[in-house]
Structure 1
């Protein structure tokens, strides 16, 4: 298989704090990789470095074999047009109705006329189990679960090659979280997209991942098939996935 995303020796510090410390990973075309790890392990910074929101201090980030670190504004915009993103809090535009939220990338990024964009938005809402009537509502009128579905619809509306999921089930009850996980699996399969997700929710990771990788103190300490994460043979991974207080991972507590 061909690697869609490749990170080699990526490092990033903020002042004296090293967040990524020589991180290397790859995601094959059509694969779903989920990065797990505790708060402060570097998951979000990894995602932001790939998206170009943060510039790494060192290292290489390639998409389809092409270096993306240092791309110009126009080149980066062209690359970003191939991406879809489901943000942690859905991050919908409060002032826009649902259909315009879903169609935002179609109208602003691809220049599609509003009538066609609306039709595609309604079709995409149907893919995540929402009726056409929801398109005329505003985000404030939706439940958390419905907002997350709209966020997913927006992420897939442009039919991206690569989709990023940032804590896709945060704030949802277990049943709605499972609904979102099922929708993610279905939508990604229908698109044939490559996906990179970050989460600390092991139920979500197990369901949506082909492979799972664990970050600890800015380094990749384990990677393997999703089914193997529960019996990884790695003490750090074992402690994290089973939620044990005792183990090599020590949480920093303030006095």
Structure 2
């Protein structure tokens, strides 16, 4: 193992028309580390994630994954990098037309060309890993509660035992108890895999549970980064306001400007 970060962003910019969303992101995620990006809605968290995934191309700057420059990769080269990734989408993003087990096995069948029998065995094992019995695999996503859908999404994210897992608002829409269950499962599954993880959330309970390090994105820049134990005494007024959920402070409420 070398000392290079598993994910490295250097001066990454991304805009849409006249609106600059990312204004020079610098971020390192070490191998086996869990980094959580916090910040309010519209601060650029999802855009940053999409740039790393290759769904968006940065206007400037570079993105390295496992020492490889992936900033402008296309076609087969991009697909090769994507095999390193697992992803838990906001809202689980399951395919309604497929049974649960086939949702979990989707990447194995479509991405890796695995036969359905073997893929189903792995899917059943991963469902068990997140606390769901094999008979759940026969249901359709519409028959599941929100918490079960998140568990299925997590099972899918870990099905191919990826080196890197992305979590996009993993607890959105869940009650506090189910959110804590999902956070615990994320920690356990990531530790089992030894995966590198990058998460985006505005849920501080989730950030505190799953992070090794926390970084805050505000107005398109990382304004603070540190160990999760340091977030309560960051010395940064924006971070302090955000983690304590205070209306008053330097973070402007955009709604007041409308």
Is TM (by shorter chain) over 0.5? yes
Cα offset, 1:111, TM superposition: 1.0
Query: Which of 49, 55, 58 matches 1:56?
Result: 58
1:170 aligned counterpart, secondary structure: coil
Q: Does 1:240 align with 2:247?
A: no
2:199 aligned counterpart, secondary structure: strand
The aligned counterpart of 2:165 is 163
Cα offset, 1:70, TM superposition: 1.2
The aligned counterpart of 2:212 is 210
The aligned counterpart of 1:225 is 227
The aligned counterpart of 1:83 is 85
Q: Does 1:69 align with 2:74?
A: no
The aligned counterpart of 1:24 is 26
Q: Which moved more, 1:226-235 or 1:205-214?
A: 226-235
Q: Which moved more, 1:222-231 or 1:149-158?
A: 222-231
1:3 aligned counterpart, secondary structure: coil
Q: Does 1:8 align with 2:10?
A: yes
User: Segments of 4+ in structure 1 off by > 4 A?
Assistant: none
Cα offset, 1:72, TM superposition: 2.1
**What is the CA–CA distance in structure 2 between the aligned matches of 1:112 and 1:51, rounded to whole Å?**
23
Cα offset, 1:131, TM superposition: 0.2
Unmatched runs of 5 consecutive residues or more in structure 2: none
The aligned counterpart of 1:113 is 115
2:214 aligned counterpart, secondary structure: strand
Cα offset, 1:231, TM superposition: 1.4
**What is the CA–CA distance in structure 2 between the aligned matches of 1:151 and 1:64, rounded to whole Å?**
25
2:4/2:67 contact within 8 Å kept: no
Cα offset, 1:69, TM superposition: 1.1
**What is the CA–CA distance in structure 2 between the aligned matches of 1:231 and 1:152, rounded to whole Å?**
32
| RMSD of aligned alpha carbons | 0.7
2:105 aligned counterpart, secondary structure: helix
Unmatched runs of 5 consecutive residues or more in structure 1: none
2:238 aligned counterpart, secondary structure: helix
**What is the CA–CA distance in structure 2 between the aligned matches of 1:128 and 1:37, rounded to whole Å?**
28
**What is the CA–CA distance in structure 1 between the aligned matches of 2:87 and 2:242, rounded to whole Å?**
26
TM-score by length of 1: 0.99
Cα offset, 1:210, TM superposition: 0.1
TM-score by length of 2: 0.98
**What is the CA–CA distance in structure 2 between the aligned matches of 1:34 and 1:69, rounded to whole Å?**
21
**What is the CA–CA distance in structure 2 between the aligned matches of 1:214 and 1:252, rounded to whole Å?**
18
Per-residue CA shift, 1:92-151, capped at 9, x if unaligned? 000000000000011111111111110100000000000000000000000000000000
**What is the CA–CA distance in structure 1 between the aligned matches of 2:155 and 2:23, rounded to whole Å?**
34
Query: Which of 153, 156, 173 matches 1:154?
Result: 156
Query: Which of 88, 102, 105 matches 1:103?
Result: 105
**What is the CA–CA distance in structure 1 between the aligned matches of 2:94 and 2:74, rounded to whole Å?**
27
Q: Which moved more, 1:65-74 or 1:159-168?
A: 65-74
**What is the CA–CA distance in structure 2 between the aligned matches of 1:233 and 1:191, rounded to whole Å?**
34
2:167 aligned counterpart, secondary structure: strand
